[in-house]
Amino acid sequence: MSAWTVLPATAFCASVRDGTHDSPKRVDVGQKLITSKHMIGDRLTLDKAYLISNEDFEGINRRSKVDQWDVLISMIGTVGEVFLVKEEPNFAIKNIGLFKSKSELHGRWLFNFLRSPRAQEEIASRLRGTTQLYIPLGELRTLPIWHPSGENEMREITSVLDALDDKIEMNRKTAATLEEMARALYRSWFVDFDPVHAKAAGRAPAHMDTKTAALFPDSFGENGLPEGWDEKRFIDVASLKNGYAFKSTDWTEEGVPVIKIKSIKDGSIDLGNASLVSDKLAKEKSAFKIDEGAAAIGLTGYVGEVGRVPPSSNGALVNQRVARIDPEDGTAFSPFVYAMSRTIEFKDYVIGKSYGSAQPNVSTKDILNYVCCAPDTLISKYNEHAGPIYAKQFSAAKESQTLTTLRDTLLPRLMSGELRVGKAKETVEAVA
């Protein structure tokens, strides 16, 4: 192994800058502007970035243009989220730190190092602010970066971590594709009524066997629904179980995670920074337990957000303003109910039923009155078709969690020189 050294970020990088501190006016057509809130879990949520004029975009980029292999870091709020720019970017930045990389290797190393406990502790020690934490640009510039003196060792170490990240990202994309397939099938059958339209026009429904096609009528009734279909409400296919009103004094350093409204994020539930309660309290409040793979819905704030509990959730519990979705058939997860609750129509309905100006709230009673249209025979048939798809999606998520745990275990040891690369490669090759 080569000797290790430490350099301030300004010496390790080509330069260290930050994005604009101004607030460019939003426009309907223009270029993307991202902020610290768009950086979540090593990813950028570009779809939620707002647009600014080309003039403002060019003005920002004259000072802080982002290029491929640069590393970004959130500077305000949740400080320390990092992102490696692997492709030529098409956005400008605001209140985000910018480490200009000398090369692809330097960018990859810095990205991994900044995720390590050593770097995160350094970042935490440099925070300022009371109501909202932030890190000054000057502190980013003097941030110590540990690294091997030899580039070959840097390359070998980053290749181990990159292999894990690539597999995790592939699983994420696979899971997203699988859910989209299941949701598209739901929309085709129960929202757009494609099989009914096809049969009404004298065509065989596409991508469907004859037994399944026979379950659909070939005409519509006066109410605009497929002939013979009756309206159902959410309460006919599932019930909602509100969580427990945990107190701040209930939180512990170790134990069982509690799902809060901020944990539910567009189809997933993030327990990475969840508050914990003791095993004893969790046992006492077992009525509010939610199994891995089951779904929950937010009732306050981002109302109507629905997600599934991740694998190895350690018997998570639901908080007061989160409701567990209990399918009426007694299973922990129903493909039909979940797909229904992930439609834009359902989300719009829940938002429309919410109340409160400072923070929207919605009642479980209103959610349970949501109207859907599907006969029991087709609900069962949908579950039969979509069940394996959702099972594969969850399996990909489970594998990603295993790989993430392995990466997070190896990363600090590799980034400090404690673990030899050869041993780490053997471990990764055994699972990835």
**Could you read off the pLDDT of 354-372 as tens digits, one per residue?**
998 778 999 999 999 999 9
388-421 tens-digit pLDDT: 999 999 999 889 888 988 999 999 999 888 888 8
- Please tell me whether residues 212 and 355 are part of one structural domain: yes
Span 173-178, mean pLDDT? 93
Q: With bands split at pLDDT 50, 70 and 90, how would you rate the model's confidence at 2?
A: low
pLDDT at 1 (0 to 100): 53
Q: With bands split at pLDDT 50, 70 and 90, how would you rate the model's confidence at 61?
A: very high
Is there a domain that residue 311 lies in? yes
Residue 312 has pLDDT above 80, yes or no: no
User: Sheet holding 306-308: strands in order across?
Assistant: 238-242, 322-327, 295-298, 306-308, 267-269, 264-265
> Global pTM?
0.85
Is there a domain that residue 412 lies in? no
Q: With bands split at pLDDT 50, 70 and 90, how would you rate the model's confidence at 76?
A: very high
pLDDT at 272 (0 to 100): 78
| 196, two tokens | 């009914």
Is there a domain that residue 158 lies in? no
- The CATH number of residue 327's host domain is 3.90.220.20
Is there a domain that residue 420 lies in? no
- Please tell me whether residues 145 and 186 are part of one structural domain: no
Is there a domain that residue 171 lies in? no
CA quadruple 27, 29, 31, 37: dihedral, nearest 10:
50
- Please tell me whether residues 260 and 113 are part of one structural domain: no
- Tell me if 225 sits within 8 A of 189, measured CB to CB: no
- Please tell me whether residues 294 and 216 are part of one structural domain: yes
Question: Could you tell me the residue range of the domain that residue 220 belongs to?
Answer: 176-390
Is there a domain that residue 155 lies in? no
- Number of C-beta neighbours around residue 248 at 10 A: 6
Q: How many domains does the chain have?
A: 2
| 183, two tokens | 């949701």
| 50, two tokens | 């707002």
